[in-house]
Chains A and B, each alone.
Chain A
Amino acid sequence: AQSVTQLDSHVSVSEGTPVLLRCNYSSSYSPSLFWYVQHPNKGLQLLLKYTSAATLVKGINGFEAEFKKSETSFHLTKPSAHMSDAAEYFCVVSYSGNTPLVFGKGTRLSVIA
């Protein structure tokens, strides 16, 4: 069965320090992988996506993620956290066509001044 695991439910970092949000997926096929961000009472905004092109994907707001097939991982990183990055982050996997996305449980990022 397809699944995606976000290893940390909550991550707290100081402003200006690096961010690492971890995500692992299980799959027998080549998936498409996404990271979405959700601010309180808002919809989801796409940060970046991997669709079998370059394994290092750059997204918006300085975020990037690296697809590592050997580790079945797609961790999200940012060199320097900003207060506005505080939000809920979802790692998401899609397998084909019109199949719905599979969401991770989310990681809440807190940024301390």
Chain B
Amino acid sequence: GAVVSQHPSWVICKSGTSVKIECRSLDFQATTMFWYRQFPKQSLMLMATSNEGSKATYEQGVEKDKFLINHASLTLSTLTVTSAHPEDSSFYICSARATVGRTSGELFFGEGSRLTVL
């Protein structure tokens, strides 16, 4: 079945550094990918919608200069947390919507990336 791969699955960084998280659709094309953030014991909060070849659409309250999203190809979107601070520590999950084929329209989730900022 369709697979979405996130990397890294977990990362620890120092405050002030930048961290890049990759989201890849391994066997399907995805013109749209979504980035979510999940706090402990809470639901997923949509951060932004990433569209291939165009600028991401950010949800209200999400700083676009803080969370840089690039969707350079039909199989890859990246989220860069710039100048990370401890409050950015969270579980980040991406999802990708298949655009063609048997699974067209379905949404698939990555395994998530746990970010800890010291």
Binding site for B on A (CB under 8 A): 36, 41-46, 90, 94, 98, 100-101, 103-106, 108
Contacts and interface: CB of A to CB of B under 8 A. Distances in A.
A43 B110 contact: yes
A110 to B, nearest CB: 13
Contact of A41 (B44, B107, B112): B112
22 contacts: A41-B114, A42-B111, A43-B93, A43-B109, A43-B110, A44-B44, A44-B93, A44-B95, A44-B109, A45-B109, A46-B108, A90-B43, A90-B44, A98-B31, A98-B49, A100-B46, A101-B46, A103-B44, A104-B43, A105-B43, A106-B42, A106-B43
Interface in B59-94: 91, 93
Contacts of A108: 41
The SS class assigned to the B binding surface is strand
Nearest to B108: A46
B12 to A, nearest CB: 14
Given A43-B109, A43-B111, A101-B46, 8 more contacts: A41-B112, A45-B109, A90-B44, A98-B31, A100-B46, A101-B107, A105-B43, A106-B42
Contact of B107 (A90, A94, A104, A105): A94
Contacts of B41: 108
Interface in B101-118: 107-112, 114
B112 A100 contact: no
Contacts of B110: 43
B43 A100 contact: no
Given A43-B6, A103-B44, A36 B109 contact: yes
A98 B112 contact: no
B53 to A, nearest CB: 14
B29 interface: no
A44 B6 CA distance: 12
B42 A100 contact: no
Top 9 closest A-B pairs, CB basis? A43-B111, A44-B109, A43-B112, A43-B109, A105-B43, A98-B32, A103-B43, A106-B43, A103-B44
